[in-house]
Structure 1
Amino acid sequence: MKTLIYSAKDFEIPYLEKANCKKHKFTFLEESLSSESAMKAIGYKAISISSADEASPIVIEKLKDFGVEYITLRSVGHDNVNLNSANTIEIRVANVPAYSPYAIAEHAVGLLLTLNRKLIESNKRVKSFNFDLNHLIGFDINEKTVGIIGTGKIGAIITKIMHGFGCELLGCDVVKNEELTKKYGMQYQSLEALCKNSDIISLHVPLNSETHHLIDKNLIDKMKPGVVIINTARGAVLNTKDVIKGLERGIIGALGIDVYEKERGLFFTNHSNDIITDEMIIKLNAMPNVLITGHQAFLTDEALTNIAETTIYNLDCWSKNGVTENELTKIVSKKK
Structure 2
Amino acid sequence: MSDNQNTPGQDVAARDTAAHPERFEDPGVPAHRSRLTDVDPQAAKRNERLIALIFGISCVGAIASVVVYFAVRPDGTTAGTRLSTALLGVTMAISLLGIGIAAIHWAKSLMSDHEHVDERHTLASSPEVRQVAVQHLADGVEDSGIARRGVLKGAAVSALALFPLTFAVPLISSVGGDWNVSKFRHTLWERNKRLAYDPTGRPIRAADLTVGSAAHVIPEASQEEMQSHEWITEKAKAVVLLVRLNPEDLRSDQSPEGETWSYDGIVAYSKICTHVGCPVALYEQQTHHLLCPCHQSTFDMADGAKVVFGPANRPLPQLPITVDDEGYLVAQDDFAEPIGPSYWERLK
Higher relative contact order (CA 8 A, sep 6+): 1
Determine which structure has more spread, i.e. the larger CA radius of gyration: 2
Q: TM-score, normalised by structure 1?
A: 0.22
Structure richer in helix, relative to its length: 2
